[in-house]
Amino acid sequence: MGFRIRLMVDGDSRALAVDPRTTLLDALRDHLRVTTPKKGCDHGQCGACTVVLDGRRVVSCLTLAIAQDGATVTTAAGLADGNELHPVQRAFLDRDALQCGFCTPGQLCSAVAMLAEAADGVPSAVTGDGDPTVLTEEEIRERMSGNLCRCGAYVNIVAALRDVVAGARE
Amino acid sequence: MNTFSYVRAVDPADAVALAADDPNAVFLAGGTNLVDRMKLGVSRPSTVIDVSRLALDDVREQPDGSLWIGATVRNADLAAHPLVRQQYPVLSQALLSGASGQLRNMATTGGNLLQRTRCVYFTDVTLPCNKREPGSGCPARDGYSRYHAIFGASVACVAVHPSDQAVAMAALDATVVVLGPAGERRIRLVDLHRLPGDRPEQDTVLGPSDLVIAVELPPISGQAVSGYRKVRDRASFAFALVSVAAVLELADGSASVGEPLIADVNIALGGVAHKPWRAAAAEEVLRAAPATPDTFRRAADAELAAAEPLEGNARKVALVRKALTALLGELAERAVGRASVSGDRDGR
């Protein structure tokens, strides 16, 4: 059935056949058994399915897999460097920035890409005339607003990301 | 989701030709709204024409000083573009106030304009909706109308257009560049979207195989200040209850003699109508008038005299009044500040 496409997922080149209706999220989870990105709302409203697609964070539930033939996808499982956790992952553990953990893979991908966006000078709604590379708590909250957490771990997520920002400045 | 055939267009002309072959075809760009509608069963295309990789992703200043924005430029990239941030801050602010970081990375300039209403009756296929199913009725008018129109609605439809970007572009006198079967043409952005009338299923004046290829912003005066103010139910990642985009320019030298006069002003409102609502009545009160709170209030009153709120959205009248007067006050203050700075530089 379907169209043959190829995706680079967390460093592995993967071939698969998809129906045109298949979203990137379903292609990852159901076709490739990469279950790191989670299906929360499936309508782009919760961010649980966030992955980094060709260097940018996106919601994989609103992306058709067939339109991404040849793309490079990084899920939360691909953030670590071997056994060395990504600094954002480490900070989430240190700050206990999760409860049930369902939103965490999306939060991690979103946060890693968000930090890169800010470093590139991409502004947010609260930047105004300020410096987009300076991530205040207000900036972190605004830039992470696409990732919902039903447990309400926001306070510790913000603390974790402030730690990462402070660590990067040292 | 219904089945469809997927095809990737090689260039804009190819996309238009492919669309002309199937009256039930749609263009796919960022997918953030279309894919969602397809999942909901609201949109059931037989052909999906992928235009996301067309070479329409450039932002460039043209020889006449206008800004060309390609249709597939991502919302995030447009908001961050130095020319947009410096010259058209209202547009950058509007884009950044919309959706989330993930969605802005996906959504495109053209797709954002052509997104469809988030009216809860439109997006629920188990309920009647004249926009989705012409002639089936409109439960919104006497139902959940918190987000609905206070201007220009009809018996058939009280939905609003959800875009922030389009509101800023309306205030900037933008033009939409369209490629159709008969070639290229330009449409003023304020004329792109329709009022619902008795054909609410038709959001815009575009034909089924018309492809938006760019938006052009006319050059803007170095003295003009602009901004966007959005009122919503939560601090981020929510559609507007109401929003205001404004571009304001004070008369030369008037700021330094005590009473700043408004030379020119453009205002567009979001969340209040089936299209970005250009506030012509307010603009008329403001032009050549002193930039004072009293003028701003009279301008808001003049515009809101035509408001026809429903039971569920009556508060929008007060929200527009407050958002509009607050934004004008803020812009006037900045314009005076800018005039005094440039006056100092001139040695006056």
A28-77, pLDDT tens digit by residue? 999 999 999 999 999 999 999 999 999 999 999 999 999 999 999 999 99
Indicate whether B256 pLDDT > 80: no
For B60, the enclosing helix (H) or strand (E) is: strand B59-61
Of the candidates B272, B256, B266, the one whose C-alpha atom is nearest the C-alpha of residue B307 is B272
Which residue(s) pair with A16 in the sheet?
A5
Chain B residues closer than 8 Å to A62 by CB: 31-32, 35-36, 103, 106
Indicate whether B347 pLDDT > 60: no
Q: Using CB atoms, which residue from B6, B85, B105 is nearest to A58?
A: B105
Q: What is the pLDDT of residue B343?
A: 55
- Stretch A103-107: mean pLDDT, rounded? 98
Contact A47 B105 (CB under 8 A): no
- Is B244 in contact with B327 (CB distance < 8 Å)? yes
Chain A residues closer than 8 Å to B40 by CB: 43
> Which residue type, as a one-letter code, is found at position B201?
E
- Is A21 in contact with A61 (CB distance < 8 Å)? no
Q: Using CB atoms, which residue from A21, A62, A125 is nearest to B3?
A: A21
Of the candidates B67, B164, B76, the one whose C-alpha atom is nearest the C-alpha of residue B115 is B164
Q: State both tokens at A67.
A: 């339109």
**What span, in angstroms and rounded, lies between the C-alpha atoms of A47 and B145?**
27
For chain A, list the domains and their CATH numbers: 3-78 (3.10.20.30), 87-169 (1.10.150.120)
Give B91→chain A minimum CA distance, Å. Answer: 11
A10: phi > 0 → left, psi -120 to 50 → alpha, else beta; which? Answer: left
CA B126 to chain centre: 29
The neighbour count for residue A169, using CB atoms within 10 Å, is 8
Query: Which residue blocks in B97-236 are alpha helix, DSSP H?
Result: 101-106, 109-113, 165-171, 189-192
The neighbour count for residue B85, using CB atoms within 10 Å, is 20
Q: State both tokens at B305.
A: 């005299």
For B27, the enclosing helix (H) or strand (E) is: strand B25-28
- For tokens 């930039």, what's the residue? B291
> Which residue type, as a one-letter code, is found at position B168?
A
Contact B100 A145 (CB under 8 A): yes
For B229, the enclosing helix (H) or strand (E) is: strand B225-231
Which residue(s) pair with A58 in the sheet?
A51
Indicate whether B348 pLDDT > 50: no
Indicate whether B346 pLDDT > 60: no
- Stretch B180-188: mean pLDDT, rounded? 98
User: For B316-333, how does the pLDDT look when each residue is reduced to its tens digit (9 = 90+)?
Assistant: 999 999 999 999 999 999
Contact B236 A125 (CB under 8 A): yes
Of the listed ranges B76-90, B165-179, B304-318, B328-342, the least confidently predicted one is: B328-342
Of the candidates B145, B155, B260, the one whose C-alpha atom is nearest the C-alpha of residue B200 is B155
* Count of alpha carbons within 13 angstroms of residue A26, beta-carbon side: 17
Q: Using CB atoms, which residue from A62, A113, A144 is nearest to B106?
A: A62
Query: Which residue blocks in chain A are alpha helix, DSSP H?
Result: 24-26, 87-94, 104-119, 137-143, 154-169
| Helix A87-94 vs helix A154-169: crossing angle, to nearest 10 | 130
Query: Looking at the predicted complex, does its ipTM rise above 0.95?
Result: yes
Contact A59 B99 (CB under 8 A): no
Domain ranges (residues) in chain B: 225-343
**What span, in angstroms and rounded, lies between the C-alpha atoms of B6 and A19?**
10
Give A42→chain B minimum CA distance, Å. Answer: 8
In this structure, is the dihedral angle defined by the CA atoms of residues B179, B183, B187 and B191, taken in order, positive or negative?
negative
What does pTM read for this prediction?
0.97
For B321, the enclosing helix (H) or strand (E) is: helix B315-345
Instruction: Identify which has the larger pLDDT, A169 or A78.
Output: A78
Q: What is the pLDDT of residue B199?
A: 98
User: For B14-25, how does the pLDDT look when each residue is reduced to its tens digit (9 = 90+)?
Assistant: 999 999 999 999
Rounded mean pLDDT of chain B?
A: 96
Chain A touched by B79 (CB under 8 Å): yes
Of the candidates A102, A112, A169, the one whose C-alpha atom is nearest the C-alpha of residue A144 is A112
User: For A113-155, how does the pLDDT look when each residue is reduced to its tens digit (9 = 90+)?
Assistant: 999 999 999 999 999 989 999 999 999 999 999 999 999 999 9
Chain B touched by A23 (CB under 8 Å): yes
Of the candidates A21, A70, A76, A67, the one whose C-alpha atom is nearest the C-alpha of residue A48 is A76
- Stretch A15-27: mean pLDDT, rounded? 98
Indicate whether B345 pLDDT > 60: no
User: For B189-248, how does the pLDDT look when each residue is reduced to its tens digit (9 = 90+)?
Assistant: 999 999 999 999 999 999 999 999 999 999 999 999 999 999 999 999 999 999 999 999
Indicate whether B147 pLDDT > 60: yes
CATH superfamily of B225-343: CO dehydrogenase flavoprotein, C-terminal domain (3.30.390.50)
The neighbour count for residue B185, using CB atoms within 10 Å, is 11
Indicate whether B341 pLDDT > 80: no
- For a pLDDT cut of 90, what percent of chain B falls above it? 94
- Is B41 in contact with B35 (CB distance < 8 Å)? no
For residue A114, what is the nearest residue in chain B, using CA coordinates? B101
Q: What is the pLDDT of residue A86?
A: 98
Q: State both tokens at B325.
A: 């007067």
pLDDT tier for residue B39 given thresholds of 50, 70 and 90: very high
Q: What is the pLDDT of residue A170?
A: 67
Quickly list DSSP for B231-296: E-SSSSS---SEEEEEEEEEPTTGGGGSS-BEEEEEEEEESSSSS-EE-HHHHHHHTTSB-SHHHH
